[in-house]
Structure 1
Amino acid sequence: MNLILCDDDKVFLNKLEIRIRGLCQKHKIAVEMECYVSAKEMLEGIKNLDEISVFFIDIDMPEVNGFEVASYLKKWNRECCIVFVSNKDDLVFQSLVYHPFFFIRKAHLDEELEPQLLELQKKAGKKVPQIELQTGRQSVKLALRDIWFVESEKNYLLFYREKDTRDEAIRVRMKMSEAEKKLEAHKFVRTHKGYLVNMNYVYRLREKELLLLNGKSIPVSRNYLNQVRMKIMGVVME
C-alpha cells in the first residue's frame, strides 16, 4: 500500500508513522509511506495522486484544513481512501460529507488503527467490479466506480461518467429495471423512474433532488424519496 500521512503535530505524526510501520511488519503488509506536517506541503509534494491509495489526514490544520484536502483529493482520485485522524471527535458527522474510509480518534489510536489498517489491506486487494455493456455491435466493459448515474431515454439507457455530456455518455439498449438489478448491490439507487445514481458521488440530498460531487443535479421523485434516504443512511453507517 502507498500511504500519505499529514498532521501539523510533529510528535503525533511521528507516533502514527511508528504505529503503522509496526503493524505492517506484524501483519506482513508491504507499505510505502510519506509524511507531511502541512496540507499545503503535502499537495505540492505529491507527484502522482493516482498511485496513492490511502491518506491519513488530521482535520484541524492551519492554512488548508483536512476537509479541504479531502475535497481536493476526491476530485483528483475518487477511489482513494481517506482516514481522518483527529482529536476533534465532534467533527465525525461533518466528515461524512467527504465519504471517509474511517474516522480515527487520536485518543483511541492504539485500539482503532489496527482493525482499519487490516480493512484497508483487504480493500487494496479487491478486484474492481465491472459491468459489460452492449453498444450496437461492440461490447464495452465499464468499471462501476466510473459510472456516476444512469438516465433513461426511450428504449435506451445513458451511462454517464464524471465529465460526460449527453452525447458522450455510453448509450445502451436496456431497461432501467435490468440496470437496477445489476447495480443495486453496488451502492446504486433508483431516484426516479428515469434515473439510477451511484451513491459514492452524492454530495447532498435536497427536497426533490440529489446534488452530485461534480455539481450535477438528479431529480428525486416522491415514490423513491424514502428509498433514497435509506440508501444514504446505509452508506453513512458503513
Structure 2
Amino acid sequence: MRPVQFYSLYIDLTQDIRLELDVFPRNISFYFTNASSLDHARNLIEQEYFEVIVFNVDNVGEEEVRLIADIPKNTSIIVISNDYDTIFDPHDIDNVILFTLKPIDPEKLQNLLIRFLSKYVLPKVKHLDHFDFFFTGSEMTKINFNDIFYVEAVGTFSNVFLLDQVILVKESISSLEERLPSKNFVRLHRSFIINTQKILRISSKEIELNNAKKLPIGRSYRNKIGYISYLIDRLLI
C-alpha cells in the first residue's frame, strides 16, 4: 500500500528537537523540508505549498508572528516554543492547530503530533471515502470500510469486526458513527453499528450478517429498519 503523503516544512531555529519520520503513524508519510532561518522559511513558503508547517523556536516574537500571519490559511501550523510574547495569541490564528511549550517529553510530543495531525490534516485526503485511519494504540491503522462487518462499543473504545480480525479502536461508538459513511453504516443499538452491505436477513428484533453473526435491534432504533429496507430496494447494498 502506498502511504498517504504530506509535504511539510520544519522551521528549526533552536535545533534541540529532531523530527523523525518514524514518529508518525504507519502508512502516513510526512516529507519534511528543513529551514534554519525565518528568511529561508519565508522563501520556501513563497515558492511551495506545504500541508503542515512546524515551528521550533525559543520565543514567538514579532518576526515569527508576521511569518505565521502570511502562511496560507489551509496550511496547518504547529508551534513548539520556550516562551511567547503577549502579541502572539495562538487562539487568534485559525490554522495554528497546536501550540506547546518546552521542555516537552519526546514521547508526549509524538503523541501530540499524531493526535493533532490526524484530526486536522488527514481529513484533507480526498479518497478517505473508502477507508480511514483509526487510533489503535500509539499508532494509527488503515481500515477499509468495505471490510467492516460491524462495530461494538467497549466502554469509551470500540471493537471493529472484520472477517477474520477484531481491531480495538480508541474512539467511542458515537464518534465512529459520525465518521463512517452513512450510506452504508447504520446504528441499530446503543452498542452496535452494522455495515448494511453485510446484511443477510432482517427481522423486527435482530439482523443477521453474512458471517452468521446475529445482532439485536434496540427498541429506540427500530425505525432504522425502514431505512435499511429502502437501501436494499434501491440496490445501494
Fold shared by both chains (TM-score > 0.5): no
**What TM-score does the superposition give when structure 2 sets the normalisation length?**
0.43
**What TM-score does the superposition give when structure 1 sets the normalisation length?**
0.43
More strand by share: 2
More helix by share: 1
Structure number with greater Rg is 2
